[in-house]
Structure 1
Amino acid sequence: MPTDGAVSPVVELLTKPDCHLCAAARAVVAAVCEELGVPWHELSTVDAPDLLERFAEEIPVLLIDGVQRDFWKIDEARLRRLLTQ
């Protein structure tokens, strides 16, 4: 994470209820973001039905600055690279 006054990336995890992959993804995103001091938030398809329609077959979905970067199984090393570049 840059410490030179740069703006933090916007990290969002799109999840749905009763999703075991979502629980695993949440743990990875929370751990990496906490380690790097990057805020993140979770979006539930319950609250965003338009996103469910768009990403129905790919949930959980990781978005960074509004761009889809990963789905299904969130790769910890890849996420760390994306957030430190």
Structure 2
Amino acid sequence: MVNEPQTQPGARVVLFTRTGCHLCDAAREVVARVCESAGQQWREVDIDGDAGLADRYGEYVPVVEVDGVQQGFWHVDGDRLARRLAAPGPAQGARP
């Protein structure tokens, strides 16, 4: 894997997953590919390690957020994610 998602705390993209989720496996591949292409960092959060996140996302995983804004769940649209990453992030003055 090119990105090490767990080591990217300041990443624009966060992928919420859970162990044993086949949709999460597919989403991880899409996020890794799109973020690598866009030169963006991403991180992955296993919701099963946090009761609050497990309650919040439950069976909706995988969930992807960009700049703290949920972009979708269950299926990550690579084209949509790429368009969102092409927009300026909060560090460049845009609102999340």
Q: The TM-score by the shorter chain falls in which range?
A: 0.7 to 0.9
Which of residues 12, 15, 26 is equivalent to 1:13? 15
Q: Name the residue aligned to 1:5.
A: none
The alignment covers a number of residue pairs equal to 78
Q: Name the residue aligned to 2:28.
A: 26
> What is the SS of the residue equivalent to 2:19?
coil
The higher relative CO (CA closer than 8 Å, separation ≥ 6) is in 1
Percent of pairs with identical residues: 45
CA distance in 2, matches of 1:38, 1:49: 28
Task: Show structure 1 runs of 4+ deviating over 4 A.
Answer: none
Instruction: Tell me the TM-score normalized by structure 1.
Output: 0.85
TM-superposition CA deviations, 1:10-64 (whole Å, max 9, x none): 2100000000000000000000000111000000012222111001131000011
Q: Name the residue aligned to 2:65.
A: 63
Q: Name the residue aligned to 2:80.
A: 78
Unaligned 5+ runs, structure 1:
1-7
Distance 1:44 1:9, change over 3 A: closer
Q: What RMSD, in angstroms, separates the aligned Cα atoms of the two structures?
A: 1.4
CA distance in 2, matches of 1:80, 1:31: 10
Unaligned 5+ runs, structure 2:
1-9, 88-96
Cα offset, 1:66, TM superposition: 1.5
Which structure features the higher share of helix residues?
Answer: 2
Is 1:43 the counterpart of 2:45 in the alignment? yes
Distance 1:45 1:62, change over 3 A: same
